[in-house]
Amino acid sequence: MIFAKDLTKEFPIFKRGKGFPGVFFIKERSKFTAVKSLDLSIEKGEFVAFLGPNGAGKTTTLKMLSGVLHPTEGEISVNGFVPYERKKQFKRDISFVMAQKTQLFLELPVKDTFTFIGEIYDVPKSEYDKRISHMIERFDLGDKLETLGRKLSLGQRMKCELVCALIYQPKVLFLDEPTIGLDINSAKEVRNFLTEINKEFGVTILLTTHNMSDVEELCNRTIVINKGEKVFDGSTSELKKLFGTKREIEFVVENPKQLIAQLQSNKDIVIMNSTESSVRISCERSGASKIIAEIMNQVEVLDINFYDADLADIVGKLYRQV
């Protein structure tokens, strides 16, 4: 479905002279490599997180995959088409939602944008009405249809952007920060809807986000890039295991103060917090079993709860290692 080999994108940089007339002449020429020898292989129906710090090359890659940018080098294919050729069927097969750009006509009511998109993609009226009514109800946009695009809040706009992207049921969906600006309930609703279209219609989705809740709830696979190069490609659970070396364990006990006193001399343990009935510690994942056995030999443990490392911390650690 999505394939790239040795995908590279370079941007020219021109440095001009100072003063007059130097400002009119190019003094130096150089280039900036935004994406370097990137390989991708994503199958139909996959829901993949595409992560990286700011400036890593995520949006540049999505623009090449969607045909907005022409790669400097490498092979690229999306659903059997070469994106930068911009063939009509290719444009019907993909949709691209960007947090920084809008598909909405800012001086027209939202419903007019929906109608326009349905018309240019030749969506049959019966199908259009069915899809629109479903999405409007799902995103609670009924009272916003007459609102001008420029008067929408960021969260409302992102919901409308998703409606625009899905009116014609694309086969591939590129999402750039789809839950930005949404409150907790709205973000949850968007995630549920994306999961639904992924499973029901087999839409292949490539998601860039800085919200790790999106990744954990939506994506079984995660690709991480940094400085234009791929640094990780595997399951999201594998990412947590490889780079989440710490594990937090909560012990429910009758006398937390006694347990804390016994643990304070153990250099392999960090006491995170405690309550009237529990103590939560952090330790190396590899030594967790030994520590649990030692504690259970020392005090009566009523219950044990395990907590994996936060995915945001893990991804941040991976960024810093590269």
pLDDT at residue 237, as a whole number: 83
pLDDT at residue 22, as a whole number: 61
pLDDT at residue 151, as a whole number: 93
pLDDT at residue 105, as a whole number: 94
Averages of pLDDT over each 10 residues, the chain, 322 residues? 94 76 68 93 95 88 94 95 94 89 92 95 94 90 93 86 93 89 80 89 91 86 91 86 75 91 88 91 84 88 79 68 57
For residues 97 and 161, the answer to whether their CB atoms sit within 8 Å is: yes
pLDDT at residue 112, as a whole number: 96
Give the Å distances, CA to CA, from 21 to 14, 26, 62, 73, 243.
Answer: 16, 11, 39, 36, 54
**Using CA atoms, how far apart are residues 164 and 178, in angstroms rounded to an integer?**
13
Q: Dihedral, CA atoms, 156, 162, 168, 172, nearest 10 degrees?
A: 170
Q: Dihedral, CA atoms, 59, 64, 65, 66, nearest 10 degrees?
A: 90
| Distance in angstroms between the alpha carbons of the first and the last residue of the chain | 29
pLDDT at residue 14, as a whole number: 76
